[in-house]
Amino acid sequence: MTECLFHNVPSHISLILGVTDGRMWHSLADVLILLAAAIVLGTIAEQLKQSAILGYIAAGTLVGPNLLGWVSDRQSIFDLAELGVALLLFAIGLEFSLTRLRRLGRIPLLAGIFQILFTLLAGLAVSILLGFSVSEALAIGATIALSSTACVVRMLNDRAELDAPHGRTALGILLVQDMAVIPLMLIITALVGKGTAADITVQLAVSLTLAVLFVAVFYGLFNYVLPRLLELSSLRRNRDFPILLAMVMAAGSAWAAHRLGLSPALGAFVAGVLLAISPFATQIRSDVQPLKTVLVTLFFAAVGMFGDLNWVVDHLALVLATVAAIVIGKMLITFGVAWFCGQPWQFALGTGLCLAQVGEFSFVLATVARGTTANPGILSESTFRLIVSTTIATLLLTPYLIQLAPAAANLIRKLGRRNQNKEPLQDAPQITELESSRETDSDLILILGFGPAGQRVAGELLQVGLKKIVVIDLNHENLQIASQYGLRSQLGDATQIEVLEHAGLYRSRLVITTLPSTTVCRQIIYLVRQLAPGTALYVRCRYHLHHWQLLAAGADVVVDEEEYVGECLAKQILESPLLPLLLNAKQKPDQPGNSHA
């Protein structure tokens, strides 16, 4: 009946009425099914004291085309979910200033180059011994040389181990691997028959030139154009504009890198690092957080969709043997190159455990190497399925390996008595510096809002010697005043968790909210009580009507403006010369002679 009604409707009227072929809604249904399954299985994984990532991957496998078949268009989902990896690296980059990036040192760079080279050669040699052709063996070596940036960085960040010795080295090696995606892709493309050695050389030179151009353009954009744009009063008044701008910058950096033939994830990370020196970095990171969370979850679910449980069951022994060989082999190779490049061996072992998996970009390399039905590549269908199954299996093992890394480092440190007094000293200054900085900031005072009220509070606190104060405000001019006070300041929305965490909420003893909005104050009270329940919370209340609401929400002290104004007015009257006159006027009718009785 519906089809008859709209059969003769003109196309422009159909668009107005929303009558479409339904492809968009079908894709949205696929995304919703994946996310719903990820919520359910991710929650189950957390209840079982496991990483939620395991649940996300399992969700994709369950509803994917190879099992229940509820979601079939896995490639489109995977293409969309790749943006999640880019947003994850963009957010991590916002935490890395150029100084902090340089602190990674030469070890990750050298170890990354050697790790890719030796893993590729090991995969090539073993594959040839097993009877594969040289071109197919080279493709296999290239796919297993890469580790999972999304999984490792997500786990290390959640465990607060990106600044640990093994975490810093693992991150550096992952960045080198992301840079290696382009040359590896060019090599596999040439092996499939779509290019020559000369083409590869030319393309590498072009990619290098474009990478330099990318960095230069984004450096100028983030350091000269963006600050002036974000200081516009219209952007400060309307919170929608900064959020939209943050999304455009995050997704735009990934898109620009992709258009230039570079790794979108690496391009997003570089853009984040360049933006990290800006005072707006923390707020931008907070603004992209919701979309990043959705797309990263979708990414892990999309990875699971490539799994085929029936094929794995039929070839279980082969899959298990391959997984064991890759995990042990990559762990030993990464451990060896990290130790050879100068990392203490207990931390090198932790780095090896973190990177003992096959990465998400291996799906891309394997797909190119397999080719299409019309133009077959160098990988057979069975080899392609083995690579996909092995990749998913190693990703499922990654959370356990990362959890094992610190414990293994401590165990090796205890057993290695001879090296205990020498090698750990190389990383000891950085660890001590990090720990000491945390200790010295354990008595922070956060002032949320630095208008006239916040400035008066800060002035009084400074006079009594309290100097460990961090100011959070969305007004750039107020932050300039805070810097004149000599205070640490951060541009951001105090109602967002990321902003409060970055400012040091977990290390604060006192939070002072001087913002006039009661709704905003209630949101802040809820977040502070949720994240740092032991922190004292002093709150400004504009209207007496909301006084008890804020106390009930969890504030320790509420300063009621209307009540305080009344007290101040009464005090001024009682101290003014007008008081005796008022008292005399009150007594005159009662004096003798003035009575009409």
pLDDT in tens, 222-267: 778 877 776 676 666 666 777 787 888 888 888 988 888 777 877 8
In angstroms, the first-to-last Cα distance of the chain is 98
- Tokens for 291, please give them: 């979309």
Beta bridge partners of 559: 540
In the CATH scheme, what is the homologous superfamily, with its name and number, of domain 441-579? Answer: NAD(P)-binding Rossmann-like Domain (3.40.50.720)
Count the neighbouring beta carbons within 10 Å of the beta carbon of residue 78.
21
Report the pLDDT averaged over residues 517-540. Answer: 88
- pLDDT over threshold 90, residue 499: no
Give the pLDDT score at 439: 39
Beta bridge partners of 491: 473
**What does the angle CA 89 – CA 91 – CA 94 come to, to the nearest 5 degrees?**
110
CA–CA separation, 188 vs 440, rounded Å? 52
Calculated CA dihedral for residues 247, 304, 114, 422, nearest 10 degrees: 90
Confidence of residue 196 (pLDDT cuts 50, 70, 90): low
Burial of 529 (0-12, 13-18, 19+ CB in 10 A): middle
Whether the CB-CB separation of 538 and 555 falls below 8 Å is answered with yes
Give the pLDDT score at 366: 85
Beta bridge partners of 536: 510
Closest by CA to 305, choosing from 86, 79, 43, is 79
Give the pLDDT score at 38: 92
- pLDDT over threshold 50, residue 513: yes
The share of the chain scoring above pLDDT 70, in percent, equals 84
Give the pLDDT score at 14: 47
Confidence of residue 432 (pLDDT cuts 50, 70, 90): very low
Lowest mean pLDDT, pick from 213-217, 285-289, 330-334, 585-589: 585-589
CA–CA separation, 272 vs 330, rounded Å? 29
Give the pLDDT score at 115: 93
Confidence of residue 412 (pLDDT cuts 50, 70, 90): low
CA–CA separation, 276 vs 370, rounded Å? 40
Give the pLDDT score at 299: 84
- pLDDT over threshold 50, residue 433: no
Give the pLDDT score at 423: 46
All structural domains of the chain with their residue ranges: 19-306+363-379, 441-579
Q: Is 192 left (phi over 0), alpha (psi -120 to 50) or beta?
A: alpha
Closest by CA to 246, choosing from 87, 100, 402, is 87
CA–CA separation, 499 vs 272, rounded Å? 16
CA–CA separation, 329 vs 336, rounded Å? 11
Count the neighbouring beta carbons within 10 Å of the beta carbon of residue 44.
15
Give me the architecture of the 19-306+363-379 domain, per CATH.
Up-down Bundle (1.20)
Count the neighbouring beta carbons within 10 Å of the beta carbon of residue 355.
32
Confidence of residue 342 (pLDDT cuts 50, 70, 90): confident
Whether the CB-CB separation of 263 and 182 falls below 8 Å is answered with yes
Cα 397 to Cα 120, 383, 392, distances in angstroms:
21, 21, 9
Whether the CB-CB separation of 250 and 268 falls below 8 Å is answered with yes
Cα 488 to Cα 47, 49, 86, 228, 291, distances in angstroms:
40, 38, 30, 21, 29
CA–CA separation, 334 vs 122, rounded Å? 12
Whether the CB-CB separation of 377 and 371 falls below 8 Å is answered with yes
| 368-410 residue pLDDT tens | 788 766 677 788 888 988 998 998 899 889 988 988 887 776 6
- pLDDT over threshold 90, residue 125: yes
Residue with tokens 């943006």: 83
Whether the CB-CB separation of 67 and 61 falls below 8 Å is answered with yes
Within a 13 Å sphere around the CA of 421, how many CA atoms are in the beta-carbon half?
2
Whether the CB-CB separation of 89 and 334 falls below 8 Å is answered with no
Give the pLDDT score at 592: 55
Report the pLDDT averaged over residues 140-148. Answer: 91
Give the pLDDT score at 30: 87
Residue with tokens 């668009």: 15
Closest by CA to 309, choosing from 204, 366, 388, 374, is 388
Report the pLDDT averaged over residues 479-495. Answer: 86
| 5-59 residue pLDDT tens | 444 545 554 444 444 556 777 778 888 999 999 999 999 988 887 778 888 888 9
Confidence of residue 428 (pLDDT cuts 50, 70, 90): very low
Rg (CA), the chain: 30
| 56-77 residue pLDDT tens | 888 998 998 888 888 877 777 8
- Tokens for 79, please give them: 């293409």
Burial of 550 (0-12, 13-18, 19+ CB in 10 A): buried
